[in-house]
Amino acid sequence: MIRRTILKLIAATLLSTVVIHSAQAENPFIIVQSTTSTQNSGLFDDLLPKFTAKTGIDVRVVAVGTGQAIRNAANGDGDVLFVHSKPSEEKFVADGLGVSRADVMYNDFVIVGPANDPAGVAGTNNVAKALTKIASSKSIFASRGDDSGTHKAELRLWKASGIDPSEDSGTWYRETGSGMGATLNTGTGMGAYVMTDRATWIAFGNKGTHQIVVEGDPNMFNQYGVILVNPEAHPHVRADMAQRFIDWLLSSEGQAAIADYQVDGQQLFFPNAGSGPS
């Protein structure tokens, strides 16, 4: 009786394995390591079904900060890297972990803040001056503090302003260690200034009295790039399907789909694949 039960369990396990493998064969997929803004903004929810309908390839997204996405891809935990920190992306390729890099789209960063604007930065289009005012007035600033593309850009802007906010960590400078949505929730809750990509802000639903207070500085440009994870470094990479996804993103059809995506009548991302691979 026990033997018969064991044999049934083995048979059931084998059948389950066959079914899973069959389903995988019928539903080919790739894994994209990407930044939270492409997910939080709703872009992927709009974009990916169009690619899948055209190719039959499912796209599974791991949406984390850019730094973590790059580490995941470096470990071989993905087929495509789609993030927004060009120096880090170029290093990824230079290290032999990616095949090549191409521009896909851009938008910009903005700083949002409470209606009472304690640092007096509303309407400023010079981010260095705005950050200096925030620091000198010790107004609360909520940073992601998570090595994401937004965090990397924020630190670059603080450095260009001649300020090291880490010296005041835990006082007026608060590091959440969280994604963009969670950091915005924290910022609106505590009346803090927050730097965010514009797309996530437009799609964000808990704005409260917060509004954009700093925008329009060329230094707040936000470029997104796409990279095929190198199959020579990780032989299990689904290179053919991954390349089809990249080619579609860079094609006129993919670029048009990116341009067409709007929230509340506002375009969130601007395609610029014409700059080509780097």
Give the pLDDT of the chain (278 residues) as one tens digit per residue: 455 544 454 554 444 444 344 444 568 999 999 999 999 899 999 999 999 999 999 999 999 999 999 999 999 999 999 999 999 999 999 999 999 999 999 999 999 999 999 999 999 999 999 999 999 999 999 999 999 999 999 999 999 999 999 999 999 999 999 999 999 999 999 999 999 999 999 999 999 999 999 999 999 999 999 999 999 999 999 999 999 999 999 999 999 999 999 999 999 999 999 764 44
Neighbours of 260 (CB within 10 A): 12
In DSSP terms, which residues pair with 228 in a beta bridge? 80
Amino acid at 177: G
Neighbours of 21 (CB within 10 A): 10
Q: Is 134 left (phi over 0), alpha (psi -120 to 50) or beta?
A: alpha
Architecture of domain 108-220: 3-Layer(aba) Sandwich (3.40)
Domains 29-107+223-275 and 108-220 share a fold: yes
User: pTM (2 decimals)?
Assistant: 0.85
8 Å CB contact between 161 and 111: no
Domain ranges of the chain: 29-107+223-275, 108-220
8 Å CB contact between 179 and 194: no
Q: Between vectors from CA 127 to CA 169 and to CA 264, what angle results, nearest 5°?
A: 100
In DSSP terms, which residues pair with 192 in a beta bridge? none
CA distance 48 to 39: 11
CATH (residue range 29-107+223-275): 3.40.190.10
CA distance 128 to 35: 25
Q: In the chain, what is the straight-line distance between the N-terminal and C-terminal CA atoms, in Å?
A: 65
- CA pseudo-torsion sign 9, 12, 14, 17: negative
